[in-house]
């Protein structure tokens, strides 16, 4: 089977970095380009983080296109409390000599969708600002895509930034509301309902320290703050899971329906899912967590 053409839209913090590495490692994926935006940290850092991570794992030739510097209708709210001041758990990677892509993230997505009609799978693992901008510029974008997968939302579970909201949706709820109101081919929302079940453990991290492979060492570096400074016993693989689902949907069981977003008030950022067999979205409601984690570890060469 031919490799699936991927466009990743990222706000590169720690789990975004792991998703980038996973997309590069998968034989059934061809990562055509990456768009960046403000989310976990500001867009300057997310862009530089993306370039440096890709260069570190030997994929510095993949174009990186800087995108939105703020949400479409509000000020940027970051997650440095979790991802560290630079977004990569304060890990430092060498500079990348690869120039930035010539066009901005939303423009690059539109250009590639036109260049490869019906062939591109978009995996959006940050706020949906770039996607909303692309839709405003090119309303027929969905018809040119093969599949659209997001990491975002908390549908039948509590949020992770408030009691109700998952961070990516809360960071730009207006953009998320617009995207969820749009019909995309193969639209799947991978939320906290499943991603909180896919866990990298401290033992996995310790095992990665014993290898010199650059992908495993990248994982060691970006997760060190979580396992050492923050003394976590596990680390949720949110963004790598969404990437895996984009390549193999059998990893999850889904429910079809419609998604709306609360954009104001005490439940701001809450995703509301209504079951509807004729709905335009599916949500991942369960996951084969052991299968995914084992495949992730194997890809990274972690025994």
Residue 5, phi then psi, degrees to nearest 5: -75, 120
Q: CA neighbours within 13 Å on the CB side: how many for 131?
A: 34
Q: Residues 41, 139, 34, CA angle at the centre, nearest 5°?
A: 35
Round to whole Å and give the CA distance between 100 and 97. Answer: 9
Which helix H or strand E contains 236, and what residues bound it? strand 234-236
Residue in the block written with tokens 């994929």: 59
Which helix H or strand E contains 33, and what residues bound it? strand 29-36
Which residue of the set 76, 83, 196, 238 is catalytic?
Answer: 238
CB 55 within 8 A of CB 96: yes
Nearest to 124 by CA among 65, 218, 36: 36
CB 210 within 8 A of CB 219: no
User: Annotated catalytic, 196?
Assistant: no
3-state secondary structure of 19: helix
Instruction: Supply the DSSP string of 187-214, one letter for each residue.
Output: EEEE-HHHHTTSEEEHHHHHHHTT---H
Other Cβ atoms closer than 10 A to 103: 17
Active centre residues (catalytic): 238
């Amino acid at each position: 089977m031919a490799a699936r053409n991927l466009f990743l839209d990222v706000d590169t913090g720690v789990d975004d970095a792991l998703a980038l590495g996973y997309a590069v490692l998968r034989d059934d994926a061809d990562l055509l380009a990456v768009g960046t935006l403000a989310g976990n940290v500001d867009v300057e850092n997310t862009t530089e983080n993306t370039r440096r991570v890709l260069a570190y794992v030997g994929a510095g030739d993949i174009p990186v296109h800087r995108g939105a510097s703020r949400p479409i209708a509000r000020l940027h709210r970051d997650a440095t409390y979790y991802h560290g001041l630079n977004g990569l758990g304060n890990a430092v990677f060498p500079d990348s000599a690869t120039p930035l892509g010539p066009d901005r993230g939303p423009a690059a997505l539109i250009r590639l969708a036109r260049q490869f009609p019906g062939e591109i799978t978009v995996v959006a693992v940050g706020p949906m600002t770039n996607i909303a901008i692309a839709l405003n510029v090119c309303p027929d974008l969905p018809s040119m895509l093969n599949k659209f997968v997001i990491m975002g939302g908390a549908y039948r579970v509590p949020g992770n930034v408030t009691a109700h909201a998952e961070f990516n949706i809360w960071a730009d709820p207006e953009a998320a509301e617009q995207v969820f109101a749009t019909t995309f081919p193969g639209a799947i929302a991978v939320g906290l309902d499943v991603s909180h079940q896919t866990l990298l453990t401290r033992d996995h991290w310790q095992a990665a320290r014993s290898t010199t492979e650059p992908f495993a060492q990248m994982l060691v570096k970006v997760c060190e703050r979580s396992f050492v400074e923050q003394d976590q016993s596990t680390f949720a693989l949110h963004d790598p899971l969404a990437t895996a689902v984009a390549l193999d949907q059998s990893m999850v069981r889904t429910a079809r329906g419609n998604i709306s977003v609360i954009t104001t008030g005490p439940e701001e950022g809450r995703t509301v899912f209504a079951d509807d067999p004729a709905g335009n979205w599916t949500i991942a409601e369960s996951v084969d967590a052991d299968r995914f984690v084992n495949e992730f570890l194997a890809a990274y060469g972690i025994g």
